[in-house]
Amino acid sequence: MATIRVHTIPNAKIDKVAGWRGDVIKIKLRAPAVEGKANRALIKFLAAQLRVPARTIVLVRGQKLRQKLIRVEGLDAQTIRERLSADV
């Protein structure tokens, strides 16, 4: 299990990893930040990028903020960073 800090950018043109700033990853999402749509899109996007089931990804903190803390079950921090950095 590992946690990652994420800065989300809703209403983007495409879903993509926008890069790392220190230990925070920036992720652009097409979904708007309305009624939890961006949070659901973030979990779905991370599940696809990390190649894990969506149920293993938990939004720990930041439900209504752009800064979020995400817990991923079954992967270590190094593996998460490698899989998310592959597209950057």
pLDDT per position as a tens digit, 2-59: 999 999 999 999 999 999 999 999 999 999 999 999 999 999 999 999 999 999 999 9
Q: For the whole model, what pTM was predicted?
A: 0.93
CA distance 77 to 66: 21
**What angle, rounded to 10 degrees, do the helices at 37-50 and 77-85 form?**
100
**59 in Cβ contact with 68 (< 8 Å):** yes
Residues 6+ apart with CB under 8 A from 61: 68, 69
In order of their start, the domains of the chain are: 2-85 (3.30.1200.10)
Measured from the Cβ of residue 23, the count of other Cβ atoms closer than 10 Å reads: 9
Give residue 87's pLDDT band: very low, low, confident or very high (50, 70, 90). Answer: low
